[in-house]
Structure 1
Amino acid sequence: MPLTRSAGAALLALALASVAVPASASSTAAAADDVHYVALGDSYASGTGAGSYSDVACTRSRNAYPALWAGANDPASFSFAACGGAKIPDVVSSQVGELDQDTTLVSLSIGGNDSGFASTMLSCQYSTQSACERALATAGEYVVNELPGELDSLYATVRARAPHAEVVVVGYPHLYKEGGLCIGGLGSAKRTAVNRGSDLLNATIAGRAAAAGFTFVDGRPAFAGHEICTSDAWISGTNVHPTAEGHESGYLPAFGAAVSGN
């Protein structure tokens, strides 16, 4: 089924209906000595691009928001399973095994790689506007028609393995500032198209998270004003991933505000 204007609008409505989490909220809390925290997901959770890696193969960074939250809150246990490049099947096969009956908190960021993030960005960075838009349209069809069912299945697995956990699903930021010049970056039309693709992806994730009874953290307001092409970017223009500052000042406060009791 092709992506339709009405389908896109419906998904965006889901995103707008989700609870917004203020990026300025405090990320620290009293010692969480009864919290058993597991961090799942892809490179946006593992901290690719944030440096100070504890696991180079998975680009797990000590500067990533899961590690920062654990360091600030001292949970009873912390398992950092997120891995750069992960797709939904990888989370199922290699990450959810960290969950159990004792898990009380789960963070999860996934879906970008499944929708072809890397190849789409290459098309937009190095090909024409029309090629960029075709790549985004192909990704959009997957996001509308296939990703919802795959997320439903994953979320059901997470809930089954961690029945008592609070699950926080973390979305993706807009990558680019829209409008104006971006020296050495994408043209204005491409930047807008990429951000619209992010809107559709986030809307799908937000909708399925809500259906599963999970909390959705929107990465777009968390990084607003700090996208690529801004004067204080928290996303690297080289690898299009959050920097260490992006994790500390963007994702961490938003995640911390979403966790019960913060």
Structure 2
Amino acid sequence: MTRRSAVVGLVLAGSSALSVGLMPAAGAAAGSYVALGDSYSAGVGTRAKVDSCYRSPYGYPALVASRYGLSLSYQACSGATTADVTNNQLGALSSGTSLVSMTIGGNDVGFANVITTCAQPSWLSDCNGAIANGRSILTNQLPGRYDSLFGSIRTKAPNAKVAIGGYPLIFNGEDCNALTFFSPTEEASLNSATNDLDSLIRTKATARGFTYVDPRSSFSGHAVCDNVEWINGLSNPIEESYHPNRDGNVGYAKLFGPALTGTSYLTKTAAAKTSSTARTRHAADAVLAMNLTSSKNLAKAQAAGVSTREVKRLTTMLRSTDAGTVADGLAGLKQLDRQAAAGR
């Protein structure tokens, strides 16, 4: 997945390499642990970027390595596809590698672009078409890519315990982010696509003899807009959006740790919160950046049966210094989006 606008950025992974040596915990036996994958494995979302690949010290691989006293070779990179893992990360594997973890595939199906498209007002985008394009890749191309990548991992690390993770469901049917325009139907479709991706990952991973790590049950009740979020909604900076936060990475660590080592993982963390007023202002600024009142976008609104006068009025409200007025403007634009989507 790659960013396409200032509205929604989702970076689900990339390339390159950084080795992080962690001292073994008292009484623990050190092991060679290689963390492959995309941004979900690089720890994007934890607000602790280390390099261009992100590789956060709060990412689940670093948490697992620290908890179990493992020597970590942190290869995961924001933006990575299956091809990137093959070309840039597998060099860290050898017959001496004990443990391997990975999340991969989201970028192959272009999920970031899909999220970006679906987050826009319905009269400006084709969410269904974007989802269909991603599904086409998932069905026709990704199975072969997984076969090739998983086969290479087993060849290069024949003695390793390998755990392959799926992706959590991002949405709960509600859109509480004022500057995004996900309808309940769109959220359900996006979750359904994630379910299908996870099913494919499970099938291909277990067929190779790898352990599949399914995060969906653990993340249930912790989606975007839930009371306790493990996944960031639209965030600043944009690359933090729609990725597991620090709590979410602990959730992943509690799944990957036992899958790799056979012993439980226990710890606690807390998530930082942004004030309601600051979130509203940030949302308004991002919506204003959409240029909804440009001639081109007003023409699209008119063609979709949306009142251009109302678009202009509500957009003007976003420039107010009164937080309540701004919130009303954002809510009004979201209502226009609902009406336009229902009329299609």
Which residue in the other structure is 1:165 paired with? 160
Q: Cα distance 1:67–1:57, how it changes in 2: closer, same or farther (>3 A)? A: same
- Residues 33 and 98, structure 2, Cα contact 8 Å, conserved in 1: yes
Inter-partner Cα distance in structure 2 for 1:89 and 1:218:
23
Alignment of 1:151-162 (within 5 A): 151-162=146-157
Q: How many Å apart are 1:183 and its aligned residue?
A: 4.9
Q: Cα distance 1:31–1:217, how it changes in 2: closer, same or farther (>3 A)? A: farther
Q: From 105, 115, 125, give the equivalent of 1:111.
A: 105
Extract unaligned runs of 5+ from structure 2: 1-24, 235-240, 264-344
Q: Which amino acid aligns with 2:249?
A: H
Which residue in the other structure is 1:22 paired with? none
Deviation readout 1:135-176 (Å, 9 max, x if unpaired): 111111111111010000000000000000010001100001
Alignment of 1:98-137 (within 5 A): 98-128=92-122, 131-137=126-132
Q: Could you say what secondary structure the match of 1:189 adopts?
A: helix
Which residue in the other structure is 1:57 paired with? 52
Which residue in the other structure is 1:18 paired with? none
Which residue in the other structure is 2:183 paired with? 187
TM-score by length of 2: 0.64
Which residue in the other structure is 2:220 paired with? 224
Inter-partner Cα distance in structure 2 for 1:96 and 1:156:
11
**1:261 partnered with 2:262:** yes
Q: Could you say which structure has the greater relative contact order, defined with CA pairs below 8 angstroms and 6 or more residues apart?
A: 1
Aligned-residue identity in percent: 40
Q: How many Å apart are 1:259 and its aligned residue?
A: 2.0
Q: Cα distance 1:31–1:73, how it changes in 2: closer, same or farther (>3 A)? A: farther
- Residues 31 and 73, structure 1, Cα contact 8 Å, conserved in 2: no
Q: How many Å apart are 1:32 and its aligned residue?
A: 4.3
Q: From 71, 77, 92, give the equivalent of 2:66.
A: 71
Q: CA RMSD in A?
A: 1.7
Inter-partner Cα distance in structure 1 for 2:206 and 2:159:
17
Q: Could you say what secondary structure the match of 2:36 adopts?
A: strand
Deviation readout 1:206-246 (Å, 9 max, x if unpaired): 11001111110012112110000111111111111011111
TM-score by length of 1: 0.83
After TM superposition, the runs of 4+ consecutive aligned structure 1 residues lying more than 6 A away are none
Inter-partner Cα distance in structure 1 for 2:97 and 2:247:
28
Inter-partner Cα distance in structure 1 for 2:73 and 2:177:
40
Extract unaligned runs of 5+ from structure 1: 1-28
Aligned length: 230
Q: From 39, 43, 60, give the equivalent of 2:39.
A: 43
- Residues 202 and 212, structure 2, Cα contact 8 Å, conserved in 1: yes
Inter-partner Cα distance in structure 2 for 1:236 and 1:183:
11
Which residue in the other structure is 1:241 paired with? 243
Deviation readout 1:20-73 (Å, 9 max, x if unpaired): xxxxxxxxx98542421000000000011212233x200110010000011111
Q: Could you say what secondary structure the match of 1:168 adopts?
A: strand
Deviation readout 1:99-125 (Å, 9 max, x if unpaired): 001001000110000000111111111
- Residues 30 and 73, structure 1, Cα contact 8 Å, conserved in 2: no
Inter-partner Cα distance in structure 1 for 2:27 and 2:100:
17
Q: Which amino acid aligns with 2:118?
A: C
